[in-house]
């Protein structure tokens, strides 16, 4: 539900603004959204006993600029009792900026660390194939193979050793 709401607010923020304004607004909101990692802050924001004006003041104290779109957004979220979705709005704005700039981030999941040269090679090949600027980071996990996940593009590509063994065994058994 919050994802859907965040998308609607982000869409409203994007309309009629150029890339520079969107990036500026996203930076302001990102700075504010860092406060959402603090449990005390969350308690204050979600408390029905604290006046909405005091909540707004607290949020505005985290931003140096407090642009008019930011002020309007925070006041609207406060009235609608949705101040908790600010981090989700930031996420949506980052995704929109990625799409505008045609720059995306992804993750390569492997069991063992791969060389930065190989990671760069994967990055270049995917960038060329998808016609985007791609930045990949590696994450070590228990996945027995290689999986590339580019969430913003809805792309997940994997090669699993276990699956290959299973398919080969199945194929050999069918051939017999």
| Residue carrying the six token digits 């204050």 | 44
> Is the pLDDT confidence value at 56 over 80?
yes
Give the phi and the psi of residue 136 in degrees, each rounded to 5.
-110, 145
pLDDT at 155: 86
My answer on whether 94 and 120 are in the same domain is no
> Is the pLDDT confidence value at 82 over 90?
yes
My answer on whether 52 and 65 are in the same domain is yes
Q: Quick check: helix, strand or coil at residue 16? A: coil
Looking at the structure of the chain, the number of domains it has is 2
My answer on whether 77 and 112 are in the same domain is no
My answer on whether 8 and 27 are in the same domain is yes
Provide the 8-state DSSP code for 142: S
Which domain-ending residue is among 83, 98, 113? 98
pLDDT at 72: 93
My answer on whether 91 and 117 are in the same domain is no
Which domain-ending residue is among 70, 98, 126? 98
Residue that wins the pLDDT comparison between 77 and 145: 77
My answer on whether 7 and 93 are in the same domain is yes
My answer on whether 27 and 52 are in the same domain is yes
For residue 76, the domain's CATH number is: 1.10.520.20
Residue 167's pLDDT band (cuts 50, 70, 90): confident
The model carries a pTM of 0.74
* Cβ atoms 29, 89 nearer than 8 A: yes
My answer on whether 7 and 94 are in the same domain is yes
Domain that holds residue 87: 2-98
For residue 174, count CB atoms less than 10 angstroms from its CB and return exposed for 0-12, middle for 13-18, buried for 19 or more.
exposed
pLDDT at 77: 94
Which domain-ending residue is among 58, 74, 98? 98
Residue that wins the pLDDT comparison between 158 and 82: 82
pLDDT per position as a tens digit, 83-101: 999 999 999 999 899 888 8
My answer on whether 36 and 89 are in the same domain is yes
My answer on whether 77 and 11 are in the same domain is yes
Residue 159's pLDDT band (cuts 50, 70, 90): confident
């Amino acid at each position: 539900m919050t994802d859907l709401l965040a998308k609607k607010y982000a869409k409203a923020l994007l309309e009629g603004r150029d890339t520079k304004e969107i990036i500026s607004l996203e930076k302001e909101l990102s700075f504010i959204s860092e406060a959402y990692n603090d449990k005390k802050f969350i308690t204050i924001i979600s408390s029905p006993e604290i006046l909405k004006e005091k909540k707004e003041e607290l949020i505005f104290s985290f931003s140096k600029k407090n642009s008019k779109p930011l002020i309007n957004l925070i006041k609207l979220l406060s009235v609608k009792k949705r101040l908790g979705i600010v981090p989700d709005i930031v996420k949506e704005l980052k995704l929109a900026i990625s799409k505008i700039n045609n720059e995306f981030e992804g993750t390569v999941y492997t069991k063992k660390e791969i060389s930065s040269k190989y990671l760069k090679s994967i990055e270049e090949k995917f960038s060329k194939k998808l016609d985007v600027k791609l930045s990949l980071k590696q994450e070590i996990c228990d996945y027995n193979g290689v999986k590339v996940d580019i969430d913003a593009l809805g792309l997940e590509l994997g090669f699993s050793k276990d699956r290959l063994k299973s398919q080969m065994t199945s194929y050999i058994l069918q051939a017999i």
